[in-house]
Amino acid sequence: MTATATSPGQGAAPGVPHLDFDPFSIEFFADPFATHEELREAGPVVYLDTYGVYGVARYAEVHAVLNDPLTFCSSRGVGLSDFAKEKPWRPQSIILEADPPAHTRTRAVLGQVLSATAMKPLRSHFAARAEAKADELLARGSFDAITDLAEAYPLSVFPDALGLQQEGREHLLPYASLVFNSFGPPNRLRQEAIERSAPHQAYVAEQCRRENLVPGGFGACIHARADAGDITHDEAPLLVRSLLSAGLDTTVYGIGATVYCLARFPDQLAKLRSDPTLARNAFEEAVRFESPVQTFFRTTTREVELGGHSIGEGEKILMFLGAANRDPRRWENPDRYDITRRTAGHVGFGSGIHMCVGQLVARLEGEVMLSALARRVGSIEITGEVKRRYNNTLRGLESLPITITPA
């Protein structure tokens, strides 16, 4: 392979192994696992010649980078593009793409809006919708587990919980797909998504305004925190935008991953059926096993030692979350989907101060949907062609035709 394309960095530090595969190519997305192993085995830190960036794929280094957010910053973007050198394609996120101290205030607000206390009144409604969805799908028998389940269920609860109007919701999944493609290099996935982004961006900007958000929802709660003085009235719509960006597609991929796992590993479905209280961990283990969010970047703010190498300031580092989540240095039988595994410590939701602020919403959706299925379904069979969906950041399926039978 030829090492060309953009070269943001100064070149690798001496002794760092070079790899020349493209971590944002369709071939890699189709089957990343052998390359993940090569990445981990090459060393604690590698240099990816295709983009002139460092990479980390072992659990220890991914965890270390995530947990030193001032050295490995987010404010220069968590995609390939360095905001110190290139203008962001949309106004910067004030939580994802921010560092302390600015991050601390916005994170506290979203953390409270999406807290355990805030989940309590949602649970019974989320569970009722999951049970209705499971009943409907069981009556149909055969359906597409991506569109009819993994997408349909979150769409039936999350936009209402946010307080969105009915009109225009068809923009939500395309907008999220755009946001996650935008973290990648200027390849076809990113460029085509941005070219087509105007109507989706216009929809999202409009829905983030206070007057368009139904009282009682997450969105209205965020705006109320501006009245309280915790954030400014200009910041509130941008925090709503973060929920619209990251709150829906991610759970679609998480639920899709879990169903795909249960369809492929019937012994694990049997275990789940015999004890539906395992539903929450079955979801969590699927987040580890498939890692719906595969990668994020950080940018170094100073010269720093990592994995025995000295890395200069202003270098992009690509974190392979999916590879860390299957690192045999950290996990026993990492390539086994095991719903009774101790999943704590996986980095599928990240780690440290930026760890998924919506994780309780995600787990609630995952738990109640999988629990509803566990209590009704006897078997899951894949009955058609499994088609992969390609995105610069997200790993998941386009289509998963299945037939389910009653217990």
Q: Whole-angstrom Cα distance, residue 39 to residue 108?
A: 35
Residue number with CB closer to ligand OVV (179 or 282): 179
| Residue 400 in tokens | 């998963």
Residues 6 or more apart whose CB falls under 8 angstroms from that of 274 comprise: none
Residue 366 burial by CB count (10 A; 0-12/13-18/19+): exposed, middle or buried? buried
Q: How far is the CB of 84 from ligand OVV (least distance, A)?
A: 19
Q: How far is the CB of 89 from ligand OVV (least distance, A)?
A: 12
Query: Could you tell me how many residues of this chain bind ligand OVV (CB under 6 A)?
Result: 8
| Site map 151..190 versus ligand OVV, x via CB under 6 A | ----------------------------x-----------
With CB under 6 A as the contact rule, the residue among 56, 62, 73, 95 that binds ligand OVV is 95
Q: How far is the CB of 270 from ligand OVV (least distance, A)?
A: 34
Q: Whole-angstrom Cα distance, residue 343 to residue 34?
A: 22
With CB under 6 A as the contact rule, the residue among 50, 75, 81, 93 that binds ligand OVV is 93
Residue number with CB closer to ligand OVV (96 or 259): 96
Using CA atoms, how far residue 260 sits from 30, 104, 253, 342, 370, in Å, is: 15, 37, 10, 20, 12
Is 243:362 a contact under the CB 8 Å cutoff? no
Q: Whole-angstrom Cα distance, residue 24 to residue 50?
A: 10
CA 308-314-315 angle, to 5 degrees, is: 50
| Site map 52..91 versus ligand OVV, x via CB under 6 A | ----------------------------------------
By CB under 6 A, tell whether 306 contacts ligand OVV: no
With CB under 6 A as the contact rule, the residue among 75, 177, 242, 251 that binds ligand OVV is 242
Stretch that binds ligand OVV, among 39-47, 237-245, 331-339, 381-389 (CB under 6 A): 237-245
46-48: strand order across its sheet: 18-19, 46-48, 53-56, 316-320, 295-300, 72-73
As beta bridge partners, residue 319 has 56, 296
Give the residue among 401, 407, 364, 365 at the shortest CA–CA distance from 386. 401
| Site map 330..369 versus ligand OVV, x via CB under 6 A | ----------------------------------------
Residue number with CB closer to ligand OVV (245 or 268): 245
By CB under 6 A, tell whether 251 contacts ligand OVV: no
Q: Residue 144 carries which DSSP code? A: E
* Strand, helix or coil for residue 218: helix
By CB under 6 A, tell whether 138 contacts ligand OVV: no
Q: How far is the CB of 178 from ligand OVV (least distance, A)?
A: 10
Q: Residue 317 carries which DSSP code? A: E
Residue number with CB closer to ligand OVV (93 or 391): 93
Q: Whole-angstrom Cα distance, residue 23 to residue 51?
A: 9
Residue number with CB closer to ligand OVV (182 or 371): 182
Residue number with CB closer to ligand OVV (148 or 235): 235
Residue number with CB closer to ligand OVV (5 or 360): 360
Stretch that binds ligand OVV, among 137-145, 211-219, 239-247, 332-340 (CB under 6 A): 239-247
Q: Whole-angstrom Cα distance, residue 308 to residue 44?
A: 8
Q: Spell out the alpha helix ranges (H) of 56-151.
A: 59-66, 102-113, 116-140
Residues 6 or more apart whose CB falls under 8 angstroms from that of 229 comprise: none
By CB under 6 A, tell whether 197 contacts ligand OVV: no
With CB under 6 A as the contact rule, the residue among 53, 64, 96, 279 that binds ligand OVV is 96
Stretch that binds ligand OVV, among 141-149, 154-162, 241-249, 261-269 (CB under 6 A): 241-249
**Chain contacts with ligand OVV (rule: CB under 6 A):** 93, 95-96, 179, 241-242, 245-246
